[in-house]
Amino acid sequence: MKILISPLLNVIINCYLGIYKTNVSLPSCITCLFKKRSEVESSMYLQDDRLIIECNVTIFKESRVFETISCPKIQVPPSDIIENLGKLLETGKGSDVMFSVGGQTFMAHKFVLAMWSPCITIEEMQPSIFNALLYFIYTNSLPAMDDIVGGDRAEMIRHMLVAANRFAMGRLKLMCQSMLCDDLNVQNVATTLALVDQHHCDTLMDACIEFISSSTMDDVVATKGFVDLKRRCPSVLVDAFVRMSKQEHR
């Protein structure tokens, strides 16, 4: 006999096991008794050397009804992380980075910026200059430039001065001004004058004017840098001559 039951169906099974009723008047169940083999062989339960075991299985398909206890539901509120991040921006609490845009300052948090923008592209800067900028940020000094000589060294220092002014790194800016001041000559003084006017380097501006005043003016005027400066930024020359005039009348 086979009983097919769905694996998803919960049932209760009651099983009865006993010796099959014979044609003689015998008890229908001996499951509660223990018999020796010799007793069974000599009894009337054994017919033609056969002992038939009867097994009755009753299946109750009705579901049991258990008493259920109603538990209160725990309400989970919606996430408020966006609201909290908005409050951080509004209050500026814990901010660790500052943006200056059009003269207005914005406080922010590095971890929030990193979530949305893992990469920040630096425009209008050469890789070698950015590498030197990072070196200064980590070591508070400039990388060795022994292998860079002449005009290439001066050009690199000019680019670093521009970067220092761009990111408000005052000490680096002064260091670059000092090196450019030491390297002033007739050929580069006009170019340096244009640079310092654009990036508000008053100390180096005074050094350039003093250099021009103490040198042969005709030599400076004959340089390509002076011609370019006169064509592109005539106001710088006007300002320079005004300062020179004031120095002469002191």
Q: Residue 87: which CATH number?
A: 3.30.710.10
> 51 and 164 share a domain?
no
With 60 as the cut, is the pLDDT of residue 8 above it? Answer: no
Q: Which domain holds residue 106?
A: 80-119
Mean pLDDT of 213-228: 77
Cα(38)–Cα(19) distance, rounded to whole angstroms? 17
pLDDT digits (tens, 9 = 90+) for 49-85: 777 676 776 766 665 555 667 788 899 999 998 899 8
Nearest to 185 by CA among 152, 157, 150, 135: 150
With 60 as the cut, is the pLDDT of residue 153 above it? Answer: yes
pLDDT score at 58: 72
> 151 and 103 share a domain?
no
Note whether residue 65 is domain-resident: no
Structure tokens at 107: 């406080």
Q: Pinpoint the alpha helices (H) of the chain.
A: 37-42, 81-91, 110-116, 127-139, 150-166, 170-182, 189-198, 202-214, 217-221, 224-232, 234-248
> 114 and 50 share a domain?
no
Note whether residue 227 is domain-resident: yes
Note whether residue 4 is domain-resident: no
Split into its structural domains, the chain has a count of: 3
Strand, helix or coil for residue 59: strand
Note whether residue 74 is domain-resident: no
> 172 and 186 share a domain?
yes
Question: Structure pTM?
Answer: 0.57
> 128 and 202 share a domain?
yes
Q: Write down the mean pLDDT value for the chain.
A: 78
> 166 and 108 share a domain?
no
> 149 and 112 share a domain?
no
pLDDT digits (tens, 9 = 90+) for 163-214: 999 998 999 999 999 999 998 888 888 888 888 888 989 889 888 888 887 7
Residue position matching structure tokens 């860079």 = 148
Note whether residue 241 is domain-resident: yes
> 129 and 186 share a domain?
yes
Note whether residue 6 is domain-resident: no
pLDDT score at 2: 45
> 217 and 148 share a domain?
yes
